[in-house]
Amino acid sequence: MELMEGKEVFKFIKNDREKVFNNIVLEFSDRIYNLAKLYTKDEHLSQDITQETLIKIYRYLDSFNGNSNIYTWIYRITINTCKNSIIKENKYRSIEDISFIKDEGYEDKIIERLQEGKLLEALGNIKKEYSSVLYLYYYDDLKIKEISEIMGKREGTIKTWLRRGKDALEKELLKYEKR
């Protein structure tokens, strides 16, 4: 069963809620975990967030109305759960998973030179909004429109954050290169 179409999932939920939830767990658990790790940089906290997110998805599955992509709905829940967990932890942790930087150009050259961990530190030094957009765009291969829906921002804002995120990351990485 393909879970990406909103109206189709909505129909399935009404007929076989448990099967839909099981498919969500199979298809999206890793993505939920990776996004949680992006926000927390903590393996155990990310596992807790994944579990909490799946519980929320199960609890609120009937409230999914099919007007958006199921992936968008799940990411909204995940992001909100991450934000709440960060507030509870009362501190922001930088990004750990850096494998999503796949864009060609200056990033490739710099990434090759910074495999010893400087990239992680550089990502942690840019605004969280930029890091989130970079993650969703490069790691999850989402389109601007999908990121816009997930983050609840206009497409123009997402494009701006993506451009600014690349620029900010480049500046951070160039600082390390000069050292």
Block mean pLDDT (10 aa), the chain, length 179: 52 72 89 85 89 92 79 87 75 42 49 53 77 77 87 93 89 71
Residue pair 124/163 in contact (Cβ under 8 Å)? The answer is no
Whether residues 61 and 133 share a domain: the answer is: no
| Structural domains in the chain (count) | 2
pLDDT at 144: 92
The answer to whether residue 95 is domain-embedded is no
Q: pTM higher than 0.75, yes or no? A: no
Residue pair 128/83 in contact (Cβ under 8 Å)? The answer is no
pLDDT at 71: 83
The answer to whether residue 100 is domain-embedded is no
Residues 6+ apart with CB under 8 A from 127: 164, 165, 168
Which domain does 57 fall in, by range? Answer: 6-89
pLDDT at 127: 86
Backbone angles phi, psi at 178, to 5 degrees: -75, -20
pLDDT at 106: 47
pLDDT at 79: 85
Tell me how many degrees the CA angle 27-31-26 measures, rounded to the nearest 5: 20
pLDDT at 3: 44
